[in-house]
Amino acid sequence: MELIKIDYLQIDVAASKLLTVSNLSINSRQKIGLVGNNGAGKTTLMKILAQEKFTDLFTIKGAVINNCNFAYVPQLLDAGDKSGGQREKLALSRAVAKLKNMPNGLLLLDEPTSNLDITQQQWLIKLINKSKIACLIVSHDQNFLDSVCNSIWYIQDQEVHNFSGTYEEFRSFRQDEQKRAETIYEQKEKHLEQLKRSYNQHFNKARTFSRNKKGLSSSDWRSKSLGKQKTANNVIRASKSLANRINKEKGELEKPPVHHAITLKNGNNGITDLSISSKSKALRLEKQPLNAYGQKLFNITQEVNLAYGSKIVLTGQNGVGKTVFLEQVKDRKLHGFYNPQLKIGYFNQNIVTSQTDKTLFDSLFATSIFDDSSTMQVLGDLHLRQYGDHKISDLSGGQLVCFNLAKIITGQYNLLLLDEPTNFLDIASINALAEFVRVYPFAMILVSHDQAFIKQLKVERWQIKNGLLLTSQAQKVKQQKRNNNELELLKFKLDQLMLDSKASISEIKQVKAKIQELQ
């Protein structure tokens, strides 16, 4: 059954076109992911479907035919006395409960996973997959989209398009589209080169007809060339026609956008100045409890070492102390060794940049350790390049968060602490940030619940669980203890089997094989 029908919809902001929707619908039980770059109009479209009121700045033409009972969970919720994850989970539970006994239900969810930890995300995935309620979901969480959606609405060139399939299938489709666009561009480029060569041949041939032959007067040359005049005219006409075609095809030739990963090969001297000897540790923390707000959050039960150039992802449920850990490392409050050359950069979404009249370009280039090309690439990835001449004080909230992130990751630091850096980024920016992390030359600890992002990084993981900080080393020690215990039990079992006359040889061999494997 058709719950929402859009025949035509045009959304303008301040007399400029934002978005057009043509012939789209939402049907019963359909789970749709709405994706697109930041600022493309996703939340605006969601609010129109949720029948929210708009200011006079917006002009909306067309209409939405609504045949459903809906519940809308916006991106920014009133915090109250609960954490972000708690209030998000409560709002989602209430929305599902509201529609449970209503016919033709539709859930409208704007970035539902942005405040949820991994356990809460899994809860939401199960909730949506079990439910028969249709959903339209704005999200930048690729793992979440792939787990729940069977259709994708994507915004391209200010229009909303439909793709029937999972997010993974959509991503493959887009990659194939990109390859096709690049192939077509290369073919058009080759054709244009052929036209240019042909034009040059015709042009040179036309010049020979207008040049006097050596030893002949002009009148003699003209009288001898009357028979060739027709050919000359044809060549000249062909040259003009080719010139017109070249100009036309040049104007139509548009290179598809290609993202080039930052290599940092051209970084300025700031990178060298921040280097720490590869034999040195950037950071070494002693065994200790981590306390905050008058209570113990977790224990560091083994010495923690962070090598120069190491990248770490720190995970754990909301409220276990991840942010507190980063803050105490930043402020050097935890007991341990901090390399004298250590310069720490800290990104937190709640940190407000001082409002100055400096432009974005002036502020960023003044502190960036990378060359102009790499710095501009970061700005492009965070969709800030077009605002380069804007004053910092004029940036919107979302732009300010992205600017803070750009300022930190390009800044004069050799240890970056990034707390949920992907929360306000779109999918293209998240993928670009993952590339940046991989090639970044210094140490980094980042907190994230975005499973697709973490998977892309392929770096060491630390976890806060059951009141303990579990580093890779700690987990290896724990595994070794488990193996030792299992080994002792197997040896005991082998002794018992050897004494048992009824024990089979195959069973004895199996136990021996397990012992050898553990040893």
> Which CATH class for the 2-165 domain?
alpha beta
Question: What was the pLDDT predicted at 275?
Answer: 75
263 CB contacts (<8 Å, ≥6 apart)? Answer: 374, 439
184 CB contacts (<8 Å, ≥6 apart)? Answer: none
d(CA 463, CA 317): 9
Per-residue pLDDT tens over the stretch 140-176: 999 999 999 999 999 999 999 999 999 999 999 988 8
Domain spans of the chain? 2-165, 180-252, 269-470, 475-518
Phi and psi at residue 181, in whole multiples of 5°?
-60, -40
Question: Can you list the residues of the chain whose pLDDT is less than 50?
Answer: 266
Question: What was the pLDDT predicted at 475?
Answer: 54
Specify the pTM.
0.76
Question: What was the pLDDT predicted at 60?
Answer: 92
d(CA 161, CA 247): 32
Strands (E), 111-164: 134-138, 151-156, 159-164
β-sheet bridge partners, residue 71 = 107
Pairing between β-strand 159-164 and β-strand 151-156 as defined by DSSP bridges: antiparallel
Question: What was the pLDDT predicted at 67?
Answer: 92
Q: Do 433 and 444 contact (CB within 8 A), yes or no?
A: no
| Cα-trace Rg, the chain | 32
CATH 2.40.50.100 describes domain 269-470: no
Q: Do domains 2-165 and 269-470 have the same CATH topology?
A: yes
Strands (E), 15-150: 16-27, 31-35, 58-66, 69-73, 105-110, 134-138
Question: What was the pLDDT predicted at 263?
Answer: 59
